[in-house]
Amino acid sequence: MIQVSLLFALLASLLHVYIFSMESITWTRPATWQRFSLASKADAETTRSLAYNQGFYNLFLAIGALAGIVVIALGHRQVGWTLVFSSCGSMLLAAIVLALGGRKYFRAAVLQGTTPLLAVVTGVLAVVLG
């Protein structure tokens, strides 16, 4: 169960690194701003600094979960699980907030929140069943 949880945490982290790259690196490229339903390059330029900042939030959450995975692998389970649960829990809560933003965000919220949810649920089971 531990490996399953860590796999989901890894997948959640990789997705959030990808989201970081779109929001903080490629935001003004047509393929990226269109994916985020922006109407024009001008809209992408207007929202660039906000997206840049949001991208780094996603990167920091990914780094926290990745650090937790490494720390667990090194045998420091309490610290590692704290990092995994904190980071993946924050990813999950952010996805819930995104879903509450309206119907058009629901698909993105499900995509963003599924792997952290599975990481947290299977992680709790792994810790409890120990």
Residue 110's Cβ-side half-sphere holds a number of Cα atoms within 13 Å equal to 5
Residue 130's pLDDT is: 76
Which pLDDT tens digits describe the chain residue by residue (130 residues)? 999 999 999 999 999 999 999 999 999 999 999 999 999 999 999 999 999 999 999 999 999 999 999 999 999 999 999 999 999 999 999 999 999 999 999 999 999 999 999 999 999 999 999 7
3-state secondary structure of 42: helix
Segments making up each domain of the chain, as ranges: 2-129
Which H/E stretch holds residue 123? helix 106-129
Residue 71's pLDDT is: 98
pTM recorded for the entire structure:
0.94
Q: What's the residue count for the chain?
A: 130
85: tokens are: 């649960």
Alpha helices in 21-76 (DSSP H): 30-35, 41-73
Instruction: Please say whether the beta carbons of 119 and 104 come within 8 A.
Output: no
